[in-house]
Amino acid sequence: MTTGPAAAKYRIGAQIYTRIPSRLYPILREMNLGYDNFHKACLNYFDPFNLIFAMAVHEGYQAKIIKIREGEMIHLGSTLTNELTHQPEQTRDLIDSILAR
């Protein structure tokens, strides 16, 4: 299930969105996103993360990129958003422990 403040506030679920919910359409249109301009050019739908990301940007949130070791990638879900914002050292320790596994 999709979680996080933007998901809850805008009632974004885990399904694929081939139709833009009417409550989100004006916001996406303001961001120049819609049926003629999807968030990802290779898709003809919005996945939940695309919508959550767009709504978070609309709310003023910014994406952060955390540099880890060369050639490695990690995805932090929305459950770590508060920790990333307010406890970056603890988050870094968590990332290090995940990478050490």
Verdict on whether the full-model pTM lies above 0.75 = no
Tell me if 50 sits within 8 A of 39, measured CB to CB: yes
Tell me if 48 sits within 8 A of 7, measured CB to CB: yes
- The backbone region for 11, taken as left when phi is positive above 0, alpha when psi lies in -120 to 50, beta otherwise, is left
Question: Can you give the pLDDT at residue 26?
Answer: 93
List, for residues 23-76, the tens digit of each pLDDT value.
999 999 998 888 887 767 777 778 888 888 888 888 888 776 666 777 766 666
Confidence of residue 2 (pLDDT cuts 50, 70, 90): very low
List, for residues 62-100, the tens digit of each pLDDT value.
776 666 777 766 666 555 555 566 667 777 777 777 667
